[in-house]
Structure 1
């Protein structure tokens, strides 16, 4: 049994290693090759190229690296056509993996794609190309299966690996103890994003909202910077805010490098940029306010492309407005502070919110690697 896997991101390496362990239980003598990261290599994976050669972001970087990416993809196509694996599994990175999957499927090689592209939200015409490329789609979010059923593409929801990793009951007291924070303090985490543009647009308004919120109750704010560059940027923006605001020096904000999961766990609530971190906040059972603000052109373009009633994962998963989404021109300090006050107020609404978070956590906690391996084994057995 030979299984080909190609991952393009660090998150894909985590999924790939989890899947490899489950597949090895079914096929103890299987060999694995393709492109993988450190976790997969530790399990005996043969990687033809370093995994980070595929890790590109945005629009400009992929264009700069296009010749190299095309050479790598050409090699993989030729290699697996000459040495057909029993199954090819592309994990995420759809723009890179789907064309390989289409070539191999046309040659009769079974193909699987793990982690659905956001075809349900934008560029829905891609579904026809996906149908020509994959024999099985594995989704990590339950609502993603509908569009595949509508187009008669075999699909299996396997759950989200983060839901497997996060405990059902977060250890808030332990997190505070490890961070040297008292049990009595009221704490709010601020997460203005991981990209420079996000921080530029959101950090100043987050600081102002935090100052307004702190007037209603004594609050310590924790702000994890995604990397060294964001740390420096946030420190500069906070210094500017303190200089321009009369009460700026009174605002208690602790800025640190990374560690966002533990800081959120230690907090009573989170004010955050829209992104996958909102799912972590849900799994940590934290009341939250989700915000997003872009330059006017990006906002205009996004509104034309995105076809979904919500942008945050908690609301998409719930199918309702569980958490406030405050976007673009509505993203003001007044609105953010008001929403945060509302969401941290004790009462039936807060209890209902936390119960919905528990329900969604249970729904996502499926043992993703195990279910993915079962679905692949079933697909291969049916083909035989």
Structure 2
């Protein structure tokens, strides 16, 4: 079988690597993905975009890329789209228009339940099988026969979970992966550790960052122990301070209590707060609200991200209650995502 893949994000390729373990050896991958996973027509490193202006400059490239992917679709058996709806939805539309009978599978669906619900009819029209990683996502779709809840991929990718609250004397810090996130949070984290003495402070940095970039963006980090392994470091830590994002869900699943803090550009926050109507920012909190439960962790946004607020939250955290909530979350999301998607692709 030939499978055309469009996986443009680093996170998508982590999910693709896990999925590949469950695919038959005779399935050939074509298209856009990490070169570590095969022989892509385009490696994801070629697609890195640093900002809005850069994206505009590269629009002609992406239009050309879409046309080339449509051409590749002619000779494949099925198409697998992963996340990146800005590119993948127009690609799905173009492929379906040219090859109406070509099966298109979407794994890691656009978060249309959070905002831009108008995309849902398009997703249902252009795609044949929808692999949902959120238990409540199906409720937003009208064509129920197309969508299947497969479980959450993080549960398969995290290899070790806590069963009891840890006492390692380590605290993890994850200021994000984007430049502005790091610049905004690191000064606060550096002040915070002065108020939490006699601990080992683990600073988790994306492995892709080189030494010069780290020095420029993070500044003096001599008081921190550096790690590039988020899952292992979170497992070893008693507590974590984390920027918003997937990392908060990883910590919640692993069982490491944490505080979410996020500072966005004022204009971005203003626009986002009006477009997205959700009870919380953190994914674990969103899931708990869907279950009708109390939120699992605190969230501090914008001017509320202060040393005092973060320190107070750290001191009052009920670690045993958090551990029990972590187990509830694992049960809610379900294991087996990659295996289930592989079965859908191969049948």
User: In structure 1, what is the equivalent of residue 65 of structure 2?
Assistant: 72
TM-score using structure 2 length: 0.87
Aligned-pair distance for 1:366?
A: 2.1
What count of residue pairs does the alignment treat as equivalent?
338
- Choose which of 169, 178, 181 in structure 2 pairs with 1:198: 181
Indicate yes or no: 2:245 matched with 1:275.
Answer: yes
- Choose which of 309, 322, 328 in structure 2 pairs with 1:359: 328
Q: Which structure's residues are more often helix, by fraction?
A: 1
User: In structure 1, what is the equivalent of residue 138 of structure 2?
Assistant: 145
Contact 2:284–2:296 (CA<8 Å) still a contact in 1? yes
**1-structure distance, mates of 2:44, 2:265:** 33
- Choose which of 306, 321, 326 in structure 1 pairs with 2:276: 306
User: In structure 1, what is the equivalent of residue 259 of structure 2?
Assistant: 289
Aligned-pair distance for 1:267?
A: 1.3
Contact 2:163–2:323 (CA<8 Å) still a contact in 1? no
Aligned-pair distance for 1:114?
A: 0.8
Aligned-pair distance for 1:292?
A: 0.7
Aligned-pair distance for 1:54?
A: 3.2
- Choose which of 199, 224, 228 in structure 2 pairs with 1:219: 199
Task: Assess, with a 3 A threshold, how the Cα gap between structure 1 residues 359 and 337 changes in structure 2: closer, same or farther.
Answer: same
Aligned-pair distance for 1:112?
A: 0.9
State the Cα deviation string for residues 144-188 of structure 1 (Å, max 9, x = none). 33212x454711122222211323534999xxxxxxxxx976221
Indicate yes or no: 2:320 matched with 1:327.
Answer: no
Aligned-pair distance for 1:271?
A: 0.9
Kindly name which structure, 1 or 2, has the bigger radius of gyration based on alpha carbons. 1
State the Cα deviation string for residues 269-322 of structure 1 (Å, max 9, x = none). 001111111122123210110011123212111111212111112212222411
Task: Assess, with a 3 A threshold, how the Cα gap between structure 1 residues 234 and 53 changes in structure 2: closer, same or farther.
Answer: closer
**2-structure distance, mates of 1:338, 1:318:** 23
Task: Assess, with a 3 A threshold, how the Cα gap between structure 1 residues 296 and 50 changes in structure 2: closer, same or farther.
Answer: closer
The 5 Å alignment of 1:132-171 reads: 132-148=125-141, 150=142, 152=144, 154-170=146-162
User: In structure 1, what is the equivalent of residue 11 of structure 2?
Assistant: 11
Unaligned runs of 5+ in 2: none
Single out whichever of 273-282 and 3-12 deviates more from structure 2.
Answer: 3-12
User: In structure 1, what is the equivalent of residue 90 of structure 2?
Assistant: 99
3-state SS of 1:188 partner? strand
- Choose which of 104, 114, 117 in structure 2 pairs with 1:111: 104
Indicate yes or no: 2:236 matched with 1:266.
Answer: yes
Contact 1:213–1:341 (CA<8 Å) still a contact in 2? no
**1-structure distance, mates of 2:213, 2:226:** 10
Task: Assess, with a 3 A threshold, how the Cα gap between structure 1 residues 265 and 97 changes in structure 2: closer, same or farther.
Answer: same
Aligned-pair distance for 1:370?
A: 1.2
**2-structure distance, mates of 1:237, 1:302:** 32
Contact 1:185–1:219 (CA<8 Å) still a contact in 2? no
**2-structure distance, mates of 1:203, 1:17:** 32
**2-structure distance, mates of 1:4, 1:77:** 10
TM-score using structure 1 length: 0.79
Task: Assess, with a 3 A threshold, how the Cα gap between structure 1 residues 160 and 291 changes in structure 2: closer, same or farther.
Answer: same
Indicate yes or no: 2:344 matched with 1:370.
Answer: no
Q: CA RMSD in A?
A: 2.7
3-state SS of 2:94 partner? helix
Task: Assess, with a 3 A threshold, how the Cα gap between structure 1 residues 172 and 255 changes in structure 2: closer, same or farther.
Answer: farther
Contact 2:182–2:218 (CA<8 Å) still a contact in 1? no
Aligned-pair distance for 1:9?
A: 2.4
**1-structure distance, mates of 2:288, 2:216:** 34
Contact 1:94–1:117 (CA<8 Å) still a contact in 2? yes
3-state SS of 2:296 partner? coil
Contact 1:204–1:238 (CA<8 Å) still a contact in 2? no
